[in-house]
């Protein structure tokens, strides 16, 4: 089977800053791959270019063999790519259920009415928000907002899921729940690109990872091995000492 996500020679500049420099990598169907790197190394920018939030300055993004480089975000979503945002972005005038209904109604299929409400409840139950559909998002705790962020992404029924530090800011027991959830998705055959700083999560979830530093890919390979490489350790420690 061909690659689920294929990124080749992706570039992005912000004024004089080269945020992403000639980045290429591939995800096979059903793979959960970590995208790592110190703060400001360009991980979110790569994600933004995949999801269509930012236009790239060069290079190509292919999903399931289709070139989506210049697609607008809503086309990308309908093509089967969903994402969460690094800072949670629940829609405050919508109820919890409506946040999920939105993706069901406009994602890959057009679910609406009774069927959509049932599906929304199903997605909410999957992330641990069963029976909470009528609540206001403003009243949700941080972890519940993260759960909602995931439910909304899953509701568009993606084949490729982009998680931008979805596990960040959770306490140890919540982290365990979060990791289980992603493992569950993996079991269902979802392809996931996981931007993450928490090594415990990366080790548990990713067979393979890609490490970026200053906009470039500096290492790629099997997780355990890559995380041992001097260049990777230096990139992280250098950041910590800065």
Minimum distance, C-beta of residue 130 to another protein, in the bound complex (Å): 21
Question: Which segment (16-24, 45-53, 176-184, 193-201) binds another protein by CB under 8 A?
Answer: 45-53
Q: Are the C-beta atoms of 100 and 148 separated by less than 8 Å?
A: yes
Q: Return the number of other C-beta atoms located less than 10 Å from residue 242's C-beta.
A: 7
In the window 88-147, what residues touch another protein (CB under 8 A)?
A: 89, 91-94, 98, 101-103, 105-108, 110, 112
Q: Which of 18, 53, 177, 214 binds another protein (CB under 8 A)?
A: 53
Which residues would be at the binding site for Mg ion (CB under 5 A)? Answer: 44, 86
Is 34 or 133 the residue whose CB approaches ligand ATP more closely?
34
Minimum distance, C-beta of residue 135 to ligand ATP, in the bound complex (Å): 29
Minimum distance, C-beta of residue 211 to ligand ATP, in the bound complex (Å): 11
Which residues would be at the binding site for ligand ATP (CB under 6 A)? Answer: 14, 17, 19, 37, 39-45, 86
Give CA–CA dist 158/48, Å, rounded.
Answer: 16
152 makes contact with another protein (CB under 8 A): yes
- Contacts made by residues 173-177, CB under 8 angstroms, sequence distance 24+: 174/143, 175/200, 175/201, 177/128
Minimum distance, C-beta of residue 92 to another protein, in the bound complex (Å): 6
Question: Which parts of 83-141 fold into alpha helices (H)?
Answer: 96-106, 113-127
Q: Which 3-state string (H, E, C) describes 48-90?
A: HHHHCCCCCCEEEEEECCEECCCCCHHHHHHCCEEECCCCCCC
| DSSP-derived 3-state class of residue 193 | strand
Residues that bind another protein (CB under 8 A): 51-53, 72-74, 76-78, 82-83, 85, 89, 91-94, 98, 101-103, 105-108, 110, 112, 152, 156
């Amino acid at each position: 089977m061909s690659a689920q996500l294929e990124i080749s020679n992706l570039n992005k500049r912000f004024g004089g800053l080269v945020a992403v420099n000639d980045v290429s990598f591939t995800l096979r169907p059903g793979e959960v791959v970590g995208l790592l790197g110190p703060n400001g190394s360009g991980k979110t920018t790569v994600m933004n270019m995949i999801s269509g939030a930012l236009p790239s300055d060069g290079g190509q993004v292919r999903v399931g063999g289709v070139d989506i480089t210049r697609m607008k975000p809503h086309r990308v979503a309908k093509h089967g790519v969903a994402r969460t945002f690094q800072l949670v972005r629940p829609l405050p005038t919508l109820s919890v259920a409506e946040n999920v209904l939105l993706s069901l109604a406009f994602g890959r299929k057009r679910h609406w009415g009774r069927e959509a409400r049932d599906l929304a409840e199903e997605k909410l139950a999957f992330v641990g928000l069963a029976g909470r559909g009528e609540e206001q998002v403003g009243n949700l705790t941080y972890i519940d907002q993260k759960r909602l962020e995931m439910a909304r992404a899953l509701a568009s029924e993606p084949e490729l899921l982009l998680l931008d530090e979805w596990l960040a800011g959770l306490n140890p027991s919540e982290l365990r729940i979060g990791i289980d959830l992603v493992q569950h998705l993996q079991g269902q055959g979802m392809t996931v690109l996981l931007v993450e700083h928490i090594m415990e999560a990366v080790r548990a979830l990713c067979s393979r990872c890609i490490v970026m530093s200053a906009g470039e890919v500096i290492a790629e390979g099997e997780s355990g091995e890559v995380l041992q490489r001097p260049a990777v350790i230096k990139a992280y420690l250098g950041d910590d000492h800065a």
